[in-house]
């Protein structure tokens, strides 16, 4: 008889999932939750949009500890539209087809991750953190505990009287995870507003933080200027305040299955789970990329960073840009990328592309089902058949990161330059000769 060989266990197959882990609720139970967000940004509409035309597989609802949102979550659980997973997270189970603003579209099951954005003070400076928890019972327990230290938790992103250390320890005690939100922005970003060193702020608790959220106006290239972040995972999330902005920034994750436990393994980069691609706006398109002078009403992008005061007058008030702040606190002129860092793909939303209006967007969704297909997968030749060669060429340029951009700052978005359209018209004209 042939010698019996010991069989090696088969390597578990991982799949890729698109995740946007920072989406706000505008209203719940007929009351406002996130002030400044669209009233139409309701729990069910978010889930239905992600399951159809947004193409997002895992969505983090970042107002899940609001008692109003918890009521709606329990209603969906009672109706069987949400099912809690034993590994954490909730599975949204829609019908085969959902009636959307773009007509009836095929629907997929997606995963909801429960989260909350909380405001904390550090030396008098407010900044935001994100808390993720595995189960509804955990969310209810943490919500009750936070209400002891937080006024009006029904509203999003409320300030707690807990210190950052106390909030981190409370989160960990309940099996949750805490990460800094939009870490570099000048308004409520921890690096942008509160400190130049998270490791010094958190002390021993720094090792319990697996990741940071990059936020608008930052990407991997910029964040890797900061030496203490070398071992941290980077998240690129949308911080969506309206349905169209869901998935503007997103993460492609290699997971065994879309649930809370697998997501946490990916943030810690364990058992092969990981983020394989960060996707989002080029930082130049962000609202806070460069320093903005409020007195001159000017983005100071023509000056080399860091611009820490207005060159015309140091008495002028400024909004410090993300790039300028990162160069200021890092003291470095080049980033250092660790081996585990995935690529960052610069993309823009479809509605940022010059010439791609609502009519063409409607046609593209009807033809190709969701935005992720259009942005990543559909051959350009097929897109051109639906939207025309000019739009097809622009999407190709966007996929390659070759669109010309104009920098934003001071709360004003950057934009895709109209020069792109002129360039494409020229190329298109030459191809017709």
Do 387 and 240 sit in the same domain of this protein? Answer: no
Asked if residue 11 has pLDDT above 90, the reply is no
Do 56 and 178 sit in the same domain of this protein? Answer: yes
Do 112 and 243 sit in the same domain of this protein? Answer: yes
Do 369 and 228 sit in the same domain of this protein? Answer: no
Q: Quick one: average pLDDT of 348-372?
A: 92
Which residue, chain included where needed, has tokens 């400076």?
125
Of 282 and 93, the one with more pLDDT: 93
Confidence at residue 7, expressed as pLDDT on a 0 to 100 scale:
47
Least confident window among 88-92, 203-207, 224-228, 402-406: 402-406
Asked if residue 319 has pLDDT above 60, the reply is yes
Model confidence pLDDT, tens digit, residues 149-196: 999 999 999 999 999 999 999 999 999 999 999 999 998 999 998 999
Residue 409's pLDDT band (boundaries 50, 70, 90)? confident
- Is position 239 within any domain? yes
d(CA 65, CA 117): 9
Model confidence pLDDT, tens digit, residues 238-264: 999 999 999 999 999 999 999 999 999
Confidence at residue 5, expressed as pLDDT on a 0 to 100 scale:
45
- Is position 4 within any domain? no
SS3 of residue 300 by DSSP: coil
- Is position 297 within any domain? no
SS3 of residue 217 by DSSP: coil
Do 134 and 270 sit in the same domain of this protein? Answer: yes
Q: Among 280, 295, 328, which residue terminates a domain?
A: 280
- Is position 51 within any domain? yes
Do 250 and 360 sit in the same domain of this protein? Answer: no
DSSP 6: P
Confidence at residue 284, expressed as pLDDT on a 0 to 100 scale:
84
Confidence at residue 279, expressed as pLDDT on a 0 to 100 scale:
95
- Is position 333 within any domain? no
Do 246 and 139 sit in the same domain of this protein? Answer: yes
Asked whether the CA dihedral 371, 373, 374, 375 is positive or negative, the reply is positive
Do 79 and 210 sit in the same domain of this protein? Answer: yes
- Is position 161 within any domain? yes
Residue 429's pLDDT band (boundaries 50, 70, 90)? low
pTM above 0.95, yes or no: no
Confidence at residue 4, expressed as pLDDT on a 0 to 100 scale:
45
CATH of the domain at 92: 3.20.20.140
Q: Among 223, 257, 280, which residue terminates a domain?
A: 280
DSSP 8: P
Do 261 and 384 sit in the same domain of this protein? Answer: no
- Is position 101 within any domain? yes
d(CA 66, CA 147): 10
Confidence at residue 423, expressed as pLDDT on a 0 to 100 scale:
56
* Total domains, the chain: 2
Q: Among 280, 298, 319, which residue terminates a domain?
A: 280
d(CA 387, CA 363): 7
Of 348 and 87, the one with more pLDDT: 87
Confidence at residue 408, expressed as pLDDT on a 0 to 100 scale:
78
Host domain of residue 58: 15-280
Is residue 165 within a helix (H) or strand (E), and if so which, with residue range? helix 164-173
Confidence at residue 1, expressed as pLDDT on a 0 to 100 scale:
39
- Is position 263 within any domain? yes
d(CA 52, CA 200): 43
Confidence at residue 422, expressed as pLDDT on a 0 to 100 scale:
57
Is residue 172 within a helix (H) or strand (E), and if so which, with residue range? helix 164-173
Report the Cα 149 to chain-centroid distance in Å: 27
Q: For residues 324 and 291, is the Cβ–Cβ distance under 8 A?
A: yes
Do 376 and 274 sit in the same domain of this protein? Answer: no
């Amino acid at each position: 008889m042939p010698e019996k060989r010991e069989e090696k266990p088969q390597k578990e197959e991982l799949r890729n999932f698109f995740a946007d882990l920072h989406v706000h609720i505008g209203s719940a139970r007929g009351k406002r939750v996130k002030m400044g967000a669209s009233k139409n940004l309701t729990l069910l509409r978010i889930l239905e949009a992600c399951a159809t035309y947004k193409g997002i597989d895992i969505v983090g609802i970042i107002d899940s500890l609001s008692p109003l949102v918890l009521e709606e979550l329990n209603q969906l659980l009672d109706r069987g539209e949400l099912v809690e997973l034993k590994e954490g997270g909730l599975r949204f189970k829609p019908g085969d087809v959902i009636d959307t603003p773009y007509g009836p579209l095929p629907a997929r099951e997606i995963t909801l991750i429960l989260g909350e954005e909380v405001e904390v003070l550090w030396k008098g400076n407010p900044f935001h953190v994100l808390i993720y928890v595995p189960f509804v019972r955990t969310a209810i327990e943490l919500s009750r505990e936070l209400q002891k230290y937080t006024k009006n938790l029904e509203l999003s992103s409320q300030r707690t009287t807990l210190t950052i250390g106390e909030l981190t320890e409370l989160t960990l005690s309940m099996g949750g995870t805490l990460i800094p939100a939009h870490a570099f922005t000048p308004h409520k970003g921890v690096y942008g507003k509160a400190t130049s060193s998270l490791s010094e702020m958190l002390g021993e608790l720094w090792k319990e933080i697996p990741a940071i959220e990059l936020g608008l106006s930052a990407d991997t290239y910029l964040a890797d200027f900061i030496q203490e972040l070398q071992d941290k995972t980077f998240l690129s999330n949308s911080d969506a305040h309206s349905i169209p902005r869901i998935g503007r920034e997103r993460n492609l994750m290699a997971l065994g299955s879309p649930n809370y436990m697998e997501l946490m393994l990916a943030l810690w980069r364990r058992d092969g789970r990981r983020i394989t691609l960060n996707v989002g706006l080029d930082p130049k398109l962000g609202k806070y990329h460069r320093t903005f002078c409020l007195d001159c009403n000017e983005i100071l992008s023509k000056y080399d960073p860091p611009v820490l005061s207005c060159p015309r007058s140091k008495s002028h008030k400024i909004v410090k840009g993300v790039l300028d702040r990162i160069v200021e606190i890092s003291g470095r002129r080049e980033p250092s990328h660790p081996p585990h860092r995935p690529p960052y793909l610069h993309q823009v939303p479809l509605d940022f592309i010059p010439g791609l209006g609502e009519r063409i967007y409607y046609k593209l969704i009807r033809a190709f089902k969701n935005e992720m297909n259009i942005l990543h997968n559909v051959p350009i030749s097929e897109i051109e058949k639906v939207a025309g060669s000019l739009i097809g060429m622009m999407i190709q340029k966007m996929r390659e990161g070759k669109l010309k951009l104009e920098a934003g700052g001071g709360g004003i978005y950057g934009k895709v330059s109209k020069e792109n359209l002129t360039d494409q018209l020229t190329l298109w004209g030459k191809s017709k000769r």
